[in-house]
Amino acid sequence: MQRAECEAENQAETLFCNQCSSFRCLSRRNLLKSVLGIGFALSFGEQAARAQTDPKKTRPQVGDLLVFALGDRAGQLITRQDVPSGGPPVTTYPKDPHSQIVRDGSRLNRVLLVRLAPEVLTEQTRSVAAEGIVGYSAVCTHTGCDVVGWENATQHLVCPCHTSTFDAKDRARVISGPAPKPLAALPLQIVDGKLTVAGPFSGRVGAEQK
């Protein structure tokens, strides 16, 4: 689906369509289909192939919950209260609530959760946030490093490798450094009081080999 089509279908949610490629872009409707198991292979393409081989490597799916990726609480479910207000980010993995499988088979599935006051978020970013909690791919678009740095004053995410800096308030757009594009956003929502994945990553995660 082309970006224009995607935007038309999703109306104001342009963030959702920000990095649509011609062959891999999901609309809300397609997502719904995929949840229902219809048109799954079609809409997910390459991801579907992965899913069939290894659900641990499958990119986050609608309805997935999130768990701590690192530290003493690795594998434990994240609640809204676990994401500190104003940062720093928490590194998480998606988890399929049905199979209980944590999708930690690839670093590319790591998701940074940052909680900011909803009013400081841009409209685009607010539309994919859940109660001010925003999800971004944790892997830098430059050379694939983990984006572990956090600047409190500016609410910027900083990559330790080559200092690429992303604005957490505004779809992780590149503020400075060599990164060629924003970190992909992961739409979130609260379902039954739980922080839940509401859509796929807004674009390709990680770096591309040139």
Partner 1 sequence: MSAKLFEQLGIELWQAKRSNPSLKKRLLRYLRLLAMTFSSTSQTTPTVTLLLTFLVINIYGTLASAQPLEKYQPVTNERLLHPEPQNWLMYRGTYDSWGYSPLDQINRKNVRRLVPVWTFSTGVGEGHQSPPIVNNGVMFITTPQNQVLALNARTGDLLWRYKHELPEDLFQLHPTNRGVAVYGDKVYLATVDAHLLALNARSGEVVWDQTVENYLSGYYMTLAPLVARGKVMVGVSGGEFGIRGFVQAFDAETGKPEWKTYTVPGPGEPGNETWPGETWKNGAVPVWITGSYDPQLNLTYWGTGNAGPFMGGTRSGDNLYANSVIALDADTGALKAYHQYHWNDSWDWDEVSAPILLDVHRNGRDIKALVHPGRNGYLWLLERGADKIAFVHAEPFVKQNVFAKLDPETGRPTYNPERIPGIDKRAEFCPSLWGGKDWPPAAYNPTTGYLYIPANENLCGALKGKPATYTPGQLYIGLEITDIELLPQKEAKDHIGELQAWDMNAGKKIWTKTFKSHNWGPVLTTGGGLVFSGGTNDRYFRAFDAKTGKLLWQQRTNSGVTGVPSTYQVDGVQYIAVQSGWGVDAQRKQELLDKAFGTKTFVPQGGVLWIFALGK
Instruction: State yes or no: residue 81 binds partner 1 (CB under 8 A).
Output: no
Cis peptide upstream of residue 200 (ω within 30 degrees of 0): no
Instruction: State yes or no: residue 210 binds partner 1 (CB under 8 A).
Output: yes
- Taking residues 108 to 127 in sequence order and writing x for each that binds partner 1 by CB under 8 A, - otherwise, the string is x-------------------
Contacting partner 1 within 153-172 (CB under 8 A): 158, 160-163
What is the C-alpha to C-alpha distance for residues 29 and 190, in angstroms, rounded to an integer?
A: 19
CB 142 → partner 1: shortest distance, Å? 8
Number of residues that bind partner 1 (CB under 8 A): 26
CA 92 to chain centre: 10
Closest CA to 199 of 5, 27, 8: 27
List the one residue from 144, 167, 174, 189 that touches partner 1 (CB under 8 A).
144
Closest CA to 116 of 172, 199, 180: 172
Sole residue written with tokens 């450094």: 177
Instruction: State yes or no: residue 55 binds partner 1 (CB under 8 A).
Output: no
DSSP H helices in the chain:
3-10, 28-36, 40-44, 46-53, 123-128
- Of the two residues 59 and 171, which places its CB atom closer to partner 1 in the complex? 59
Residue numbers at the binding site for partner 1 (CB under 8 A) = 70-71, 106-108, 139, 143-146, 148-151, 158, 160-163, 176-178, 206-207, 209-210
